[in-house]
Structures are given as C-alpha cells and as structure tokens.
C-alpha cells in the first residue's frame, strides 16, 4: 500500500513530460527572436502533439543503457536478454509497465522451469532427439500462449533454455537460472526508468485525446449545420468522421491503460469509459446531421432555419472546445446555460415549422432529412448534458491534472 501511494505521489509531483513544459511558455531560455521564428513554432506544435511517443523513445533508450550497465556490474555472461526485457517493459504509459514486467517475469519463470525440466528429463545428444525435445517443450507452451497472449514469452524462454546450453558449456539448470536473473535485472531497470524518466500517465493521455476529439467534433458540427442550408459533400462528410475516429480509437486504447493505472493505484482519475461513450454518441449525432445535410433543405425553409442553426453551431462548437480545455486543465466545464437556451430556441423553431405550412410542402426525402436534423439536435442536447457531467467528474480533486 505504501509503495502504491508513493508511486501516486511521484506521478503527481513529476516535472512536466516531453511537451508538457512546452505548452505554456516554450523554451524560456531561448532568445525571443528564435521563439518567434515560424519554424520554431511549428517544431513546438509538433512536439506538443507527439509528446507521448517522444517520451517513450527517450525512456526505451535509457532503459536499454541502464539494463546493460546493470548486467555488466552483476557479471552476466549474456546481457542481451536483460536489455531486451528492459525495452519490452518500457511501455507508453506507466500504468502498463508494472503489468508488462509482472507478465514477462511470470512467463520467464514458468518457461525456464518447464524448459529446464524437459532438458534434464529427456536426453538429447543427437539432432533427431533435439528436435523431439524441442517439440515436447514448445508445443504445449505455444498452445497455452495462443489462448493467453500475455504469456507469449513462455515458449521463447523454453527454447532459450534448451538451445543455449547446446552452444556452450552451461547445463540446463544454469541456463534457466541465468535467464531468470537476466529478466529480473531487465524488468527492474525498465520499471525504474519508466517511473523516473519522463513518465507519461495514461489518464493524462485520456484528457489529451478527449480534447482532440472535442475540437474535431466542434469543427464537424459547424460544417454539418452549415450544410443543412447549402449542402454537404459526401466525401467531405466521410473525411470529417474518419478524422474524428482517429483520436476516439486512441482514447479507447489509452483508456484501457488508464484502467491498469487505477488498479495499480497509480491514478485516482475516474473511469474513462463513460466519457468515451459520450463522445461516441456526440459523433453519432453529428453523423446524423451530416447525412441529412448532404441534401440541402428548400430555400424558403433554409432561410428560416439558417440563423437559428448558425446560433446553435456557434454555441455548441464553443462549448465543445471549452469542455476540451477544461478536461486538459482539470477544471469544471464552462457554463451550459447559454448553450441550452440556443438549443431550446432551435427546438421551438422546429416545432413551429412542423405545425405550419412549410413542413407540409416538403417531399418525403426532404421531410426525412428535416425531422432527422431536429431529432439529432434534441439528442445532442441530452448528450451535451452527459458531457457536462463527465467533465465535472474529471475536474481535478487530487492534483492529477497534466501541466499545461
């Protein structure tokens, strides 16, 4: 328990990771003339957008060097596996590093024990017997690893224990012990570096990917509602939603890693699944509006709805961007009162049109698109209330917000 709390405090008090320190006042030690250069600004933006991969590259490099030095100090005859283990356990976020280390260590211990037992129990002095022993050692472990991917190191360790003695003077038990020692040194090196060198927590990445998604949703909403009156190209619609899908997929991936952090008590952030579901629902609302906008409404109806939809687009887009900034800064969401007033005004206008002559003059296809837009805006209002609740839940209460 004390270790977990110490790790949580370490993550909360860490200096900013690659790019975190670049988001407010980039490189304060650089001359003003250099910082105002357009090339420097583009570099700053690129680093901000790729801080997690950059930090991972630094951590992997440092892990490999630390593992090699540790293996040389201990006197391991073959430091290769210590270095490889350190690289493997240096994950994109600190939440996965302990899990990767545990899985790799357990797989190594089991594979080494099984491979060593087979090597001792079945003599294999000829090529034919070596093939038979290799089959007996690898086949069951490979089958087990096929059903348990986190144990895929099992057959690899058994192979090393069987074949490495054939190339040297070590017996199978010595090979198994050395293999376990190499993995322990590599795992410890990778874990220490993951926590001390530019640690990037998954919950921090959840906030950043959610902000990216909300920004793209805001852009797509403006184009979609504008297309209601003038039309929206299907290719443009497809491109918009493909772009939104990229950060949503990333959000799902880092959300899984954030779950590991919570289980390991490395983070006190809430579950990201409700936030992810809310963003998917908002994307569905926009997709419904976009599909309806591929055929513009009649000129008279478009002229009547145009100003109302423009007000809604401005209010909702601003609210989405404000929620994204609030998530990253771990602040409560912006006030939603003005937003709901705009949505209520649009609902009243749609209701007035439905009860009057304009709606009766629509063709079946036009009526279908018209009612789809009204329904999507109603659903969006409910999902924006869900978003407000989720952003409020992610507001910082324990210092877990990323520095900006």
DSSP alpha helix (H) spans, 90-149: 96-121, 127-147
Torsion of CA 397, 402, 403, 404, to 10 degrees: -110
For the chain, give every domain's residue range. Answer: 56-196, 205-394
Quote the pLDDT of residue 399: 42
- Count the neighbouring beta carbons within 10 Å of the beta carbon of residue 219: 17
Nearest CA among 350, 385, 379 for reference residue 286:
379
Tens-digit pLDDT profile for the chain (404 aa)?
444 444 444 344 443 333 343 344 445 555 555 556 677 677 777 777 677 778 888 888 999 999 999 999 998 888 888 888 888 777 656 666 566 667 777 887 888 888 888 887 887 777 888 888 889 988 998 888 888 877 777 888 788 777 765 444 456 677 778 878 888 888 888 888 877 887 777 788 899 899 999 999 999 998 888 888 888 888 888 888 899 999 999 899 888 878 877 776 767 788 899 999 999 999 999 999 988 888 888 887 888 888 889 999 999 999 999 999 999 888 999 999 888 999 999 888 888 887 765 556 677 777 788 888 889 999 999 999 999 999 999 986 444 444 33
Quote the pLDDT of residue 18: 37
pTM value > 0.75: no
Answer for the pair 291, 237: CB distance below 8 angstroms, yes or no: yes
Element at 175 (helix H, strand E): helix 172-196
- Count the neighbouring beta carbons within 10 Å of the beta carbon of residue 27: 14
Quote the pLDDT of residue 69: 94
Quote the pLDDT of residue 39: 78
Quote the pLDDT of residue 367: 79
Nearest CA among 245, 235, 153, 193 for reference residue 57:
193
DSSP alpha helix (H) spans, 27-126: 32-35, 38-49, 51-74, 80-89, 96-121
Quote the pLDDT of residue 157: 79
* Alpha carbon 369 to chain centroid, angstroms: 35
Percentages helix, strand, coil for the chain (3-state, rounded to 5) are 80, 0, 20
Cα–Cα dist 286/292, whole Å: 10
Quote the pLDDT of residue 77: 82
Quote the pLDDT of residue 35: 57
Residue 39, exposed/middle/buried by CB under 10 A (0-12, 13-18, 19+)? exposed
Cα–Cα dist 274/255, whole Å: 10
The CATH-assigned architecture of domain 205-394 is Up-down Bundle (1.20)
């Amino acid at each position: 328990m004390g270790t977990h709390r110490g790790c949580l405090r370490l993550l909360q008090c860490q200096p900013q990771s690659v790019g975190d320190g670049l988001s407010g006042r980039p490189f304060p030690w650089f001359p003003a003339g250099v910082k105002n250069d357009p090339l420097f600004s583009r570099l700053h933006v690129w680093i901000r957008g790729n801080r997690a991969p950059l930090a991972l590259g630094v951590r992997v490099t440092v892990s490999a060097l630390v593992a090699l030095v540790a293996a040389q100090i201990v006197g391991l005859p073959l430091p290769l596996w210590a270095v490889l283990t350190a690289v493997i356990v240096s994950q994109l976020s600190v939440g996965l590093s302990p899990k990767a280390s545990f899985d790799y260590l357990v797989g190594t211990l089991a594979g080494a024990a099984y491979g060593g037992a087979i090597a001792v129990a079945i003599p294999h002095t000829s090529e034919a017997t070596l093939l038979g022993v290799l089959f007996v050692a690898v086949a069951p472990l490979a089958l087990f690893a096929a059903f348990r991917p986190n144990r895929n190191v099992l057959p690899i360790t058994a192979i090393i224990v069987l074949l490495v003695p054939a190339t040297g003077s070590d017996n199978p038990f010595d090979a198994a012990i050395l293999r376990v020692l190499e993995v322990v040194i590599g795992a410890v090196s990778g874990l220490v570096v993951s926590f001390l060198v530019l640690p990037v927590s998954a919950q921090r990445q959840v906030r950043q990917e959610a902000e990216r998604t909300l920004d793209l949703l805001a852009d797509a909403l403006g184009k979609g509602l504008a297309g209601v009156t003038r039309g929206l190209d299907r290719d443009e619609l497809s491109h918009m939603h493909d772009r939104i899908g990229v950060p949503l997929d990333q959000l799902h991936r880092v959300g899984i890693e954030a779950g590991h952090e919570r289980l390991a008590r490395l983070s006190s952030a809430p579950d990201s699944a409700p936030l992810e579901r809310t963003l998917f629902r908002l994307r569905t609302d926009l997709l419904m509006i976009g599909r309806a906008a591929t055929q513009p409404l009649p000129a008279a109806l478009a002229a009547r709805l145009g100003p109302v939809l423009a007000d809604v687009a401005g209010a909702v887009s601003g609210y989405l961007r404000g929620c994204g900034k609030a998530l990253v800064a771990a602040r409560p969401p912006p006030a939603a009162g003005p937003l709901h007033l705009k949505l209520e005004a649009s609902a009243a206008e749609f209701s007035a049109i439905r009860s009057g002559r304009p709606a009766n003059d629509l063709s079946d296809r036009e009526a279908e698109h018209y009612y789809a837009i009204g329904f999507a805006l109603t659903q969006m209002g409910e999902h924006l209330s869900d978003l407000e609740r989720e952003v409020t839940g992610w507001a910082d209460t324990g210092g877990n917000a990323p520095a900006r």
